[in-house]
Amino acid sequence: MRPSILDPLFAAVTTLEGVGPKVAAQLQTLLVANGAEVRVRDLLFHLPSGLIDRRKRAEIATAPEGGIVTLTVRIDRHQAPGRGQKSVPYRVFAQDETGEIALTYFRGQSAWLEKLLPVGETMIVSGRVEWFNGRPSMVHPDFVATLEEAETLSLVEPVYPMTAGLSPKLLRKAIAETLEKLPALDEWIDPAVVAREAYPGIGSALRRLHDPEDETDIAHAGPAWSRLAYDEYLASQLALALSRQRMKKARGRPLVGTGRMAGLLRAALPFTLTEGQEAAIAEIHTDMAAPDRMLRLLQGDVGSGKTVVALMAMAAAAEAGAQSALLAPTEILARQHHDGLSKLCEAAGLSIVLLTGRDTGRARAAKLAAIAAGEVQIVVGTHALFQEGVDYADLGLVVVDEQHRFGVHQRLSLTAKGRGADLLVMTATPIPRTLVLAAFGDMDVSRLSGKPAGRKPITTVAVPMERLSDIVGRAGSAMDAGERLYWVCPLVEESEKSDLMAAEERFRQLQAHFGDRIGLVHGRMSGEEKDAAMADFKAGRTQLVVATTVIEVGVDVPDATIIVIEHAERFGLSQLHQLRGRVGRGSKASSCVLLYRAPLGETASARIKVMRETEDGFRIAEEDLKLRGEGDLLGTQQSGMPYFRIASMEHHARLMEVARDDARMILTRDPELTSPRGEALRALLYLFGKDEAIRLLRSG
C-alpha cells in the first residue's frame, strides 16, 4: 500500500487550481512518456530548462529587439481604442530617462488596466520588447509590479520545457501549488552519501529547482539537480536489485550437466570454440550448477558466436533433465536458430522444436503436447513461447537472444513458466558498461570479445549516390564471380516514399539488370514470404537480396560477402554496425559499401568516419554515445532502456554506480525494506513509479 502521506502527489492534476481537462491533456503530453496517467507528482519532476532573471534592469532606449527585459518605468497615459475598433490594441505609454515605450494589450479592459498600471506610478514591467518604426513596444508584459511589490515578489522565474498551447504562467502556478502539497519526507539516501555529496533534502532540492535564485541553482551538475538524479538512479537500481533478489531467491536449483551431450556437440561442430566462447560457457555452466538462479548477460558483438554458447548451456540443462526455451525477437531469427541448431542437436541426441505464432491448429497442438510431456528438450520461438496454453514439463533455462526490446521486469517474467529457471540474455548491442547497468541492472556479464579465428576484416567504403551505376556494375561482377550480396534500403513508410528509395523500386531496377538472381525481403511481407526469400538467398538460389532493416538483427548467411547500405546517412551508428555485421561471417574477405546522398551533415560524416575506422563494436558504441547521448543510443522506446527524466549520463554517470552499490547494501541489510530507512525508500520507489518493484516485497 502506498503511504497515505503521498496521496496528494498522486492525485489527478485536475485537483490543481486552474487545471481543467484541456490543460490536463496538455500536461499529459508534456510530462508523461510511457502512457501512464499524469499525476501531480509529474509536475514536481518537470525541471526548468533555464530562468528569467528580472532583477537585472534594462533601459528603454537600449532594449534589444526580441529580448526579454525588465524595465523600471513611470506610467504616463492610457490610450484606449475607440468604440468598435476591436482590432486596435489598448496602449499604456510609460517612460524612463532614456525614452518611451508602449505597453500593448489586445482586447484589454480599461477598468482592469487602469488599476494595474495607474498613471503617475513607477512600476516594474517585464516582457519581450519589439521595435516598430523606431518605437519600442512590449506586448502583454509577463510581469507587472509596483516597486514595493517587487521587493517581496520573486524576480527570478524558472522557464520550463513546454508543449503547444500550454500557458507558461499556468504551468508555473501549478508547479508552485504542487510544491505546497509536497509532504515532509524522511531521507532515503544513505547518510554517508548525503554528507559526501552535500545533497539537500528532497524538499529543499525541489524548492531550489522550481524557485531558483540564480543559474547555479538549476545547474545539472549542481547539488539540487544531482540529488534528484541520484534519487532517480537509486529508485531504478533498487527496483532492479529487488527483482534480482526475488529472482535469485525464488527456489533456484542446480542444473548440473554431465557433459555427455556437450561432448557430442563439440565433436559435431565444424570449428573449434574460441577462448572467449569457452570462458563464457564455463561461467554459464558454473552459474547453472549453483543453487541460485542464473541471471547472466552474454554480450558479444555481431558474429562473435553467441548462439553456440547458448547451445552449450541448453545442452547442460538437457543433461540435467530440464527443458530450455530460446526466445528470438522475430520469426526469421527463430526459424534460423531452429534450422541452424537442428543438425547439431541431432548429433547430440537433443530434440528441438520451433514454436511461433504461425503454428496453428493440429500442428500447434501436437507441439504443445510434446512440450508439456517433456519429449522436447529445446523449444525455439518468438513470444509465442510464453503465451497462455504453453506448458512446459520442466523449463529450467530461458535464453533470450538479441533482445533489446524487453523491459527488465518483462525479462524476468519470462522465467515464470519454469521452476526456478535460469536466465541468459544475449545481446549483440555493444552497450558501454555504464549503460549495461541502466539497461540490464545488476546482471552478471560475460563478454565475448573478438571474432572467431580466421575471420577477415571487412573493407568499408563510402560512395556518393552519383556513383550508383558503378556500384550496380560491381555488384554484377561480384555475382558473376559467385559472391552473395545484401542491398539494404531504409525502412519504407508508404507516406514517406517520396525521397527514400523504396526497397521495392530498387528491387525492380536491379531485377531488370540481373533477372531472378535478385530477391527481396521487407517488413511488410508475410512471415512465409520472408522465410522463403531468406531461404533462397541462404541456399544461393538468389545472389543478391534487397532488404529493409528486417535483416538488421542476427540474420546469418556466412557466404554473404558484400553489403551495400543505401542512404547510409540516415542510419544511426549502431544500426550501421549491426548491418555491416551481416557480412564478414565466413572465411572470405568482405566489404561494406555505404552509399550516401551528399552533402553529408556533420553527424553523418562523423558516423561514416567511425565506420571506416573501426569494426570494434564497443568502440562504435562509445562513439555513438558521444554523437547521440544515451537516450537515443538504442532508441529508448524499443530498447527496454529505462527512461530517466532527470538524470543524464552526461552529468550523472558516476552516480549510477554509487546508486547500484547503495541499493545492493540496502537489500543486504533490509531485504524487505521494513526499517525506517526502508520505509522511506518505499516512498522513493512510489515517487519514481516503481510500483512493480514494491509488489515484490512480502509486505508490499
Residues of this chain that interact with ligand ADP (CB under 6 A) are 271, 273-274, 277, 300, 302-308, 428, 452, 554, 556, 558, 585
Q: Which residues contact 87 (CB under 8 A, 6 or more apart)?
A: none
Which of 539, 544, 592, 536 lies closest to 568 in space, CA to CA? 592
Residue 131 contacts which entry, ligand ADP, Mg ion, none (Cβ below 5-8 A, type-dependent)? none
The minimum distance between CB 560 and ligand ADP, in angstroms, equals: 11
- Count CB atoms within 10 A of the CB of residue 259: 13
* Alpha carbon distance 577, 634 (integer Å): 12
Residue 352 contacts which entry, Mg ion, ligand ADP, none (Cβ below 5-8 A, type-dependent)? none
Q: Which residue is nearest to ligand ADP (CB)?
A: 305
The minimum distance between CB 484 and ligand ADP, in angstroms, equals: 14
Indicate the residue among 554 and 640 with the shorter CB distance to Mg ion: 554
Q: Which residues contact 687 (CB under 8 A, 6 or more apart)?
A: 6, 9, 41, 231, 235
Taking CB under 5 A as the rule, does residue 554 contact Mg ion? yes
Indicate the residue among 306 and 517 with the shorter CB distance to Mg ion: 306
Taking CB under 5 A as the rule, does residue 420 contact Mg ion? no
The minimum distance between CB 553 and ligand ADP, in angstroms, equals: 9
The minimum distance between CB 498 and Mg ion, in angstroms, equals: 35
Residue 274 contacts which entry, Mg ion, ligand ADP, none (Cβ below 5-8 A, type-dependent)? ligand ADP
Indicate the residue among 60 and 265 with the shorter CB distance to ligand ADP: 265
Taking CB under 5 A as the rule, does residue 430 contact Mg ion? no
C-alpha cell, 245:
533478489
Only segment of 158-166, 436-444, 548-556, 686-694 that touches Mg ion (CB under 5 A)? 548-556
Extract the runs of DSSP E, i.e. beta strands, from 278-406: 295-300, 323-327, 352-355, 378-381, 395-401
The minimum distance between CB 452 and Mg ion, in angstroms, equals: 13
Indicate the residue among 171 and 314 with the shorter CB distance to ligand ADP: 314
Q: At what angle do helices 602-613 and 573-580 cross, to 10 degrees?
A: 30
* Alpha carbon distance 2, 683 (integer Å): 7
The minimum distance between CB 454 and ligand ADP, in angstroms, equals: 6
Residue 396 contacts which entry, Mg ion, ligand ADP, none (Cβ below 5-8 A, type-dependent)? none
Taking CB under 5 A as the rule, does residue 300 contact Mg ion? no
Residue 452 contacts which entry, Mg ion, ligand ADP, none (Cβ below 5-8 A, type-dependent)? ligand ADP
Q: How far is CA 281 from CA 262, 446, 524, in A?
A: 11, 9, 38
Residue 305 contacts which entry, ligand ADP, Mg ion, none (Cβ below 5-8 A, type-dependent)? ligand ADP
483 sits in the region (left: phi over 0; alpha: psi -120 to 50; else beta) called: beta
Residue 640: phi and psi, rounded to 5, are: 75, 5
Exposure string (b/e) for 272-295, b if CB count within 10 Å is 16 or more? ebbebbeebbebbbebbebebbbb
Indicate the residue among 229 and 345 with the shorter CB distance to ligand ADP: 345
Taking CB under 5 A as the rule, does residue 617 contact Mg ion? no
Q: Which of residues 514-533 bind Mg ion (CB under 5 A)?
A: none
The minimum distance between CB 552 and Mg ion, in angstroms, equals: 12
End-to-end CA distance of the chain: 6
The minimum distance between CB 420 and Mg ion, in angstroms, equals: 26
Indicate the residue among 583 and 666 with the shorter CB distance to ligand ADP: 583
The minimum distance between CB 319 and ligand ADP, in angstroms, equals: 21
**Length of the chain counted residue by residue:** 700
Exposure string (b/e) for 622-655, b if CB count within 10 Å is 16 or more? ebbbebbebeebbeeeebbbbebbbbebeebbeb
The minimum distance between CB 290 and ligand ADP, in angstroms, equals: 25
* Alpha carbon distance 91, 110 (integer Å): 10
C-alpha cell, 164:
503547444
Indicate the residue among 217 and 402 with the shorter CB distance to ligand ADP: 402
Give the DSSP letter string of 43-89.
Answer: HHT---SEEEETTS-B-GGGPPTT-EEEEEEEEEEEEPPPTT-TTSP
Only segment of 161-169, 512-520, 552-560, 643-651 that touches Mg ion (CB under 5 A)? 552-560
Residue 585 contacts which entry, Mg ion, ligand ADP, none (Cβ below 5-8 A, type-dependent)? ligand ADP
Taking CB under 5 A as the rule, does residue 48 contact Mg ion? no
Only segment of 54-62, 98-106, 469-477, 549-557 that touches Mg ion (CB under 5 A)? 549-557
The minimum distance between CB 448 and ligand ADP, in angstroms, equals: 7
Q: Are 309 and 424 in contact (CB under 8 A)?
A: no
Q: How far is CA 99 from CA 73, 74, 210, 423, 607, in A?
A: 10, 11, 35, 74, 54
Residue 201 contacts which entry, ligand ADP, Mg ion, none (Cβ below 5-8 A, type-dependent)? none
Indicate the residue among 104 and 304 with the shorter CB distance to ligand ADP: 304
C-alpha cell, 336:
534460423
Indicate the residue among 48 and 581 with the shorter CB distance to Mg ion: 581
CB-neighbour burial class of residue 676 (10 A; exposed 0-12, middle 13-18, buried 19+) = exposed
The minimum distance between CB 308 and ligand ADP, in angstroms, equals: 5
The residue ranges that bind Mg ion (CB under 5 A) are 554
